[in-house]
Structure 1
Amino acid sequence: MKDAAQKNIIMMSQYEKPRVIPGSSGAFLLNDCRDMAVSRLAKALSSMMEKAVDDLFDLSEQSLNFEMRNLYMEAMTIARDKRGVIETGFKQRFVQGFNKETRGDKSAQPENALDAAEFSLVAPDDLEESLAIINITNSIHGDCAEELFGLEKRLGVLLHDPDLLNTNNPLGPEVIGKSFMNSMKDLDCPVKIKLLLVTMFNKHMPRQIKGIYQEINLHLADKGVLEKIRMGAKKRPESGAAVLPEQTDATPEAAAGAQVASGETGLFATLQQLLMRGAAAGGGAPQGQGAGTGIGAPLGQGVGTGIGALFGQGSGVGSPLAGGAVQGTSVVGSLTRLQHGQLEGVMGADSKLDAALLANGHVNVLHEIKSSSVAGAMGHVDAMTLDIVAMLFDYILDDRRIPDAMKALIGRLQIPVLKVAMLDKTFFSQKSHPARKLLDRLAEISIGWNESEGHQGGLYQTVDDQIQRILNEFDDQVGIFSEVLDSLEQFLVDEKKRIDTLTGLSAQHIHQLEQQEIARIMAHDEIRRRIHAGQLPEVIGNFLVDSWEDVLAAEYAKAGEEGEPWTRAIETMDELIWSATPKREADERKQLVGLLPSLLKRLQDGMVQVSMPDAERDQFFAKLVKCHADAIKSGLGGMTQEAAAQSAFLVEEFDAEEAVELARQAEEPAEFVEIPVLQDVIEPDPVFVQAVSAAPDVELDGGWQTLTIGDVAWQGPMESAGDDFDAMVKRLKRGTWIEFEQEGGESTRVKLAWVSPLKGLFLFTNRLGEKAVSITPAGLARRLRSGRAQIIEDIALVDRAVNNLMEHLKQAA
């Protein structure tokens, strides 16, 4: 135990070899900062790992993908069981990285660095890990820009390097990112697991690192190192980094804001690096490789896409922004003219682009623009932006989730989106960017649209109008995208009211059918128990099964088990049975005579209620008179052998018929059942309809309860022995889209609108709620298992497009 504990102790003295600094105070302060950083980063890392265990477990529970669920569980196990190994490795490598920077040892290439000339030799896993370091670095920069500005200035004083680069900061994000990735080198786990842990790192660590940087800054200021930082020096550019303008009166907050603005372009910087390295490796910039993967297998499912984990994270100060500034207004102006359909003086004479092609939306016109004079006027960064946006639209225009007609409308936004990306690189990294939100929302609402809705109104016309508004009005103010999104959302809110009403009617229809089925089960169960009690004349038993079961079901449906109609019908049945049993005592015979007028009246009322034919009714009453006579006679002499035999045969016959029916129900295939159009055939229940439309869009796992009605099991949870498809069905959320094959090979898309709390039936509707089908959970799992139904994964359009682009750029590299 003692030896194991000693292995986790880092002896700082073995690393204390900083570059020579006049006076002992500088070296002391550097070592002090190092010790503070190591101690606090280790605690933060330990806390992060604890949170990662919970997060990864939750993700595994929520995942519909078997492979991803296993990855989450493996990553959770590593975070739980290997935490000490990672923490120790991190501390060791952080101290090594700190001393390497303070010594100024630049002779050796840093671990995980990527040299463009040798990029083609980099193994795929090494590339993933190197990009993950960039990801971590960008995330920390994005949260800690202000703290890093002060820290670099103060450490620059201690290291006698007033222009200390952020990449050379011994306490900087680069050192932290490399230390974390290298701490996992000794783990026997695939790179996908490491990238999942990077995602957890980026989620939980940057804000804690921000506090650590603040503490170190305060410590150095208290020791007299730049108590106040004067702004005004021009920051040296680094490898395409932004050049911060001179600021004579700038505040640290303003400078930090400029750095954060630069930092938010990190994903674009990563795409840019991959594009350049792909060209260096001989792959060139891939074009037209945006093929989608189809429903059910979207790119970006998880860390299998590797760099997909980068998407949506923060970014670093070292991202190219100044180089990405638009080269004057001429390029944007030319693009705006193209956006308005004006080609004269913009495209060359040999251009194949015309106004019709611009308005078409089905074709990626950005590839044609790449060979025009417009692209020739672009700077290096803008030209690469054009490449990246063109590849994004390659994917979008090939995405089979989106119907062709709606895809063409979205395709008309190619030039506006290109302008947005040129003007504001945060388009790639900010999920809240208005242009990106609009693209994602358009794709989302288009999933269920089909040609039957038409082009002259409704959703198609609304989207067409709003996209035309962007084409007409968008110059260089991205606020128009927010306005258009708001207008679109208002239309959807108004449309949802009518959709909710129709969905509520379909749900009400299912609910009524289920209530009727419950009533039938209750009635059947009550009759079965009385037949099994024995000594029941055949005429009475047949009447109960063939007619009175309908009466009982109807009365139960009125007010339930506690209602007076049900209670009265049960009493009538019991009195009928009693009236046909042997009457041995004089009081019993007298009681029968007094009961008959009321009993016969109630029996007749029940027969009328279920529309029993008059002939059958008269025949039953004639046989009942004989039963009563036999009851009196048999009471004097006992039950005849013939009557006893009839009673036994009735029990056997009832059980045989019930077994056949149960077998038929078990073998009956659970398929989608179409629900008829209900506007004129069902009376709306406003309370029920409102309850259906207001139900939360949450996971349905455990969303229904087990009921036992008599001896009949109603709805219970799926068996634990079910396969992945059963688990997938249990995790479905309201609003999930399913594409299922119909007879003849055609496919239809429906969304999960409601789940019955009684039987657990799934109600699916089309986008407008006008067509509805229902299916059992087991039936849906069977459909998914056979490939006749596929879940359309809920992954945003731009997420999928960028993940696809990342994969192709890495392959090219």
Structure 2
Amino acid sequence: MTDVDKLSVALFRLPRPLLALKGRIHTFLSSRLNNMFDQVDDTFFDLADRADNNRQQTMYFDAMRLIRMERKNIEHNFFGVLTQSFQQLGQYHDPELPSQEPEGLEVVENEQLEEIIALDTMVFRVSELCKPELEALNTRLSSMVPASVTLKNNPVGPEVICESFNEAVAHLELKLPVKLVLFKLFDRQVMVSLKDFLVEGNKRLSDMGVLPDLEQLRKARAEPRQQEKPPAPPSELTSAAGATHSSSPPASGEAAGRPDPDSRATDSRRQAGAGQAKKRRQDDGQRYGQLLSQLKNLLHWGPSGASGSDAGMHQRIEGDELVSMVGNLQQDWSNAVSTEADDSEGLLQLIDDHLEQQGEARLDGTERGLVDLLDRLFVRVNHQTIACAQLATELRKLELPILQLALKDSTFFDREKHPARRLLNEIAEASIGYTEKVDVDEDPVARAISGVADELAGQPPGDHTALTQLLLNFIDLVDKERRRVAVLEQRLMEEATATEKVNHAHQAVVRVLMERVKGKTLPRFVVSFAEDAWCKVLFLNHLRSGEDSEEWHGSIRVLDRLLELVAQGQADAGVVAPVLTTIKESLENVSYDAYDMGRLLGAMEQYFRGELSSEENLRQGVSASPLQSVLVDALRTNIPGNPAALEEDSVGSVDEQYLRRADSLTRGAWVEMTDDSADKRRCKLAGVVLPSGKFIFVNRQGAKVSEKHRNRVAMDLQSEKLRPLEKNQLFDRALEGVVGEMCQSKSVH
């Protein structure tokens, strides 16, 4: 919202009828909240009394005390949010344009999801129970304010009230079981009685002159449909409403040319006429939701153009009749999806073929646009989520039961938190790792995905309880599988980290030794000491304490001191003895062979005493004397590890932006890799091994499929051999993309 929008909302003055409604809802909710809070102590005391253990008992007692102390704050926050929702009705929103800003694309934890589902179930039940009252109230409020009032922003509707309560208790540190109990109390004490208030609210607004003839207008529009005639144009409905008013005897004031003292009927007709355009836009919004209503107006979904005898022969199929007909096509749709090699033939084609065979009805208007939207949507979801043909087929089978649900539930496309949409998001994300043939009978997640279509087809389309349970069951199954795979990934990363640590220590030891002895002529015992004995001391000190530790640097200082003494040649025993003692203790700590250690120390003592020179050894025929000098070109260290594994691939120059993109890949991120043979595979980043920056990629079973250094990952990103994949809210993203394409296509043409 811009600053100008915020200012206009802040300065918006509620009309008098809306102020009266605001006062009534405040009084109603205050009374109901008091009843709810009066029940809190008894409810939580009973739960604590029946608790299985002390931990649960303490949880309920703590919650009881916290809610009692925070009662005033909860009420203050609740009515603050509610008041703000009234004021926001002053913000104009063009209903012709779909929202371009995606909502609800954040990652939701399971506990948050259960809270959301509990609130959504409450909202859906009340919305269905009070549907006529809410539709009438939306229409009346829309006639008084700039905003287009819907179920989503109606300040006395169930969604706003439930969301206000959720925000009011959000600051409380309540465990999930406690919060669910509190929501249940709110449902029983507040939401259950909302229908009575909505009936009274409609009556009061009508008495105050806000569309008092709304019910007659609704009946006038409903009669042509009941008589199976084309709906009357809005202008005719307005005329009919005007005729009803003019049929009553004129008042004396009107006969004299003066204004009618009681002008409420005239004002209501004027308001009704001004609100007809908005009402026409809301007709399909009430039936299929606001998004479809907006798309219908934007894309001009309407009759297919049949005229004359053809139009009379073919009745438009819609509503429950379409739901029933679609339900009979489940097997045909499953067979069609299973046999089609591509997405060229969609559900719309199947329905058209079926209706053509029947020859009595046709699919038209919003219903046709809805099926076309779902066809495009499921094709896009399949293309962006999985490459496994078998699971792509199973996911496409869901389109038909989702169509049935969308026809019955007007909130499906409008609510990003709808349980069916969350289920589709979960299924799409769970399917993302299948890139090869999968045995559905053996893989639990694949088996669950393949069974969802049948379960949905066997449920009534509007049964939110069964749908919510199906969602929770699927989430639970996927979480169990993820935990199992996470254990395997953790072991793999621990092994890779340990191997990397060993290789890094090996590399560090070799580097230290070669920096000090390579290219020098040294006694043979020094070379044996470095590559066979002291390398073990350095290696273990590096592994145990790290490269910044005193142990590591101390062992290097001992080596440097020994080399200094060797360079000096003969040395005093008092100077040599501390060095030899330290060497002996260090070798004993690494369990170095006692015999070899004795030989090394003996050679050192001989050397520093000057008792035997290399020339004398040669004259005596000893060709491999420990005191013989040799030129050091390389060392063969006897320690674990493979330093060559740390060397990065030669990848040439890498753009800095792709290095940043490589660093932005987080654990659990899915990518698609393309090898030299152009074969593609999808894998997940299990983690990055430090300090070398090696990326470990695994398949969905937790087995390693590839490891790449940071520079190689950046180069593959640059050459598009590695492509990050979105994994969150895939269905919602697909819906946003399809709607955007449809609107863009319309604007181009």
TM norm structure 1: 0.49
Contact conserved, 2:333 with 2:347, CA < 8 A, in 1? no
Distance 2:293 2:673 in 1: 41
Counterpart in the other structure of 1:742: 675
Counterpart in the other structure of 1:589: 573
Distance 1:279 1:470, change over 3 A: closer
210, 213, 216: which one aligns with 1:233: 213
Residue 606 of structure 1: how far off its partner (Å): 5.3
Deviates more, 1:430-439 or 1:397-406: 397-406
Distance 1:773 1:135 in 2: 41
Residue 662 of structure 1: how far off its partner (Å): 11
Contact conserved, 1:534 with 1:647, CA < 8 A, in 2? no
731, 740, 745: which one aligns with 1:811: 745
349, 368, 372: which one aligns with 1:367: 349
CA RMSD of aligned residues (A): 5.7
Counterpart in the other structure of 1:333: 324
Counterpart in the other structure of 1:771: 704
Read off the aligned partner of 2:428 and give its amino acid letter.
A
Residue 572 of structure 1: how far off its partner (Å): 5.8
Residue 502 of structure 1: how far off its partner (Å): 0.6
Deviations 1:263-298 (A, max 9, x none): 992321232234427999x9xxxxxxxxxxxxxxxx
Distance 1:543 1:231, change over 3 A: same
Deviates more, 1:588-597 or 1:402-411: 588-597
For the pair 1:391 / 2:376, whether they are aligned, the reply is yes
Deviations 1:585-613 (A, max 9, x none): 7xx3255468758846855885847xx9x
Q: Secondary structure of the residue that 2:573 maps to in structure 1?
A: helix
Distance 1:568 1:369, change over 3 A: same
Distance 2:735 2:542 in 1: 56
Counterpart in the other structure of 1:356: 335
Counterpart in the other structure of 1:172: 146
Distance 1:393 1:147 in 2: 32
Deviates more, 1:408-417 or 1:465-474: 465-474
Residue 800 of structure 1: how far off its partner (Å): 1.8
Distance 1:408 1:742 in 2: 26
Contact conserved, 2:717 with 2:723, CA < 8 A, in 1? yes
Residue 508 of structure 1: how far off its partner (Å): 0.5
Distance 1:232 1:733, change over 3 A: farther
Note the 1:142-181 alignment, pairs <5 A.
166=143, 172-173=146-147
Residue 545 of structure 1: how far off its partner (Å): 4.8
Contact conserved, 1:409 with 1:463, CA < 8 A, in 2? yes
Residue 405 of structure 1: how far off its partner (Å): 1.1
668, 685, 694: which one aligns with 2:649: 668
373, 389, 394: which one aligns with 1:404: 389
Counterpart in the other structure of 2:661: 728
Extract unaligned runs of 5+ from structure 2: 13-90, 104-132, 149-166, 168-204, 222-232, 242-278, 306-315, 615-627, 636-641
Note the 1:476-515 alignment, pairs <5 A.
476-515=462-501
Distance 2:327 2:6 in 1: 55
Residue 444 of structure 1: how far off its partner (Å): 1.2
Note the 1:617-632 alignment, pairs <5 A.
624=604, 627-630=607-610
For the pair 1:761 / 2:694, whether they are aligned, the reply is yes
Read off the aligned partner of 2:720 and give its amino acid letter.
G
Deviates more, 1:528-537 or 1:454-463: 528-537
Note the 1:213-612 alignment, pairs <5 A.
232-234=212-214, 262=286, 265-276=289-300, 327=318, 329-339=320-330, 341=331, 353=332, 356-357=335-336, 364-373=346-355, 376=361, 380-399=365-384, 401-451=386-436, 453-458=438-443, 459-524=445-510, 526-527=512-513, 539-540=525-526, 543-545=529-531, 548-560=534-546, 569=555, 573=559, 576-577=562-563, 580=566, 582=568, 588-590=572-574, 592=576, 599=583, 603=587, 608=592
Deviations 1:417-444 (A, max 9, x none): 1111211233223211222222222111
Deviates more, 1:778-787 or 1:384-393: 384-393
Contact conserved, 1:519 with 1:553, CA < 8 A, in 2? yes
Contact conserved, 1:391 with 1:805, CA < 8 A, in 2? no
Contact conserved, 1:576 with 1:599, CA < 8 A, in 2? no
Residue 520 of structure 1: how far off its partner (Å): 3.2
Residue identity over aligned pairs, in percent, reads: 18
Contact conserved, 2:694 with 2:709, CA < 8 A, in 1? yes
Counterpart in the other structure of 2:684: 751
Q: Secondary structure of the residue that 1:473 maps to in structure 2?
A: coil
Deviations 1:525-580 (A, max 9, x none): 65467559999657525642565324311343134468897588557645644663
Contact conserved, 1:760 with 1:776, CA < 8 A, in 2? yes
Distance 2:600 2:538 in 1: 18
Distance 1:608 1:741, change over 3 A: farther
Contact conserved, 1:752 with 1:763, CA < 8 A, in 2? yes
Contact conserved, 1:444 with 1:796, CA < 8 A, in 2? yes
Residue 372 of structure 1: how far off its partner (Å): 2.4
Contact conserved, 2:98 with 2:291, CA < 8 A, in 1? no
Contact conserved, 1:416 with 1:474, CA < 8 A, in 2? no
Distance 2:138 2:579 in 1: 99
Contact conserved, 1:434 with 1:482, CA < 8 A, in 2? yes
Deviations 1:712-751 (A, max 9, x none): xxxxxxx9x9443223223223322111123433222111
Distance 1:784 1:264 in 2: 43
Contact conserved, 1:511 with 1:756, CA < 8 A, in 2? yes
Distance 1:380 1:426, change over 3 A: same
Read off the aligned partner of 2:366 and give its amino acid letter.
V
Contact conserved, 1:392 with 1:802, CA < 8 A, in 2? no
Distance 1:35 1:448 in 2: 45
Residue 784 of structure 1: how far off its partner (Å): 1.2
Extract unaligned runs of 5+ from structure 1: 1-9, 11-33, 42-97, 102-128, 140-145, 155-164, 175-206, 208-224, 247-255, 283-324, 342-352, 635-645, 655-660, 672-718
Q: How many residues align?
A: 492
Read off the aligned partner of 2:738 and give its amino acid letter.
N
Deviations 1:760-784 (A, max 9, x none): 3322221121235332222101111
Read off the aligned partner of 2:323 and give its amino acid letter.
V
Distance 1:278 1:630 in 2: 108
Distance 2:674 2:101 in 1: 47
Question: Which structure would you say has the larger RCO, counting Cα contacts within 8 Å and 6 or more residues apart?
Answer: 1
TM norm structure 2: 0.53
Note the 1:67-86 alignment, pairs <5 A.
none
Read off the aligned partner of 1:333 and give its amino acid letter.
S
Read off the aligned partner of 2:329 and give its amino acid letter.
L
Residue 792 of structure 1: how far off its partner (Å): 1.5
Distance 2:720 2:302 in 1: 37
Deviations 1:655-680 (A, max 9, x none): xxxxxx99997673479xxxxxxxxx
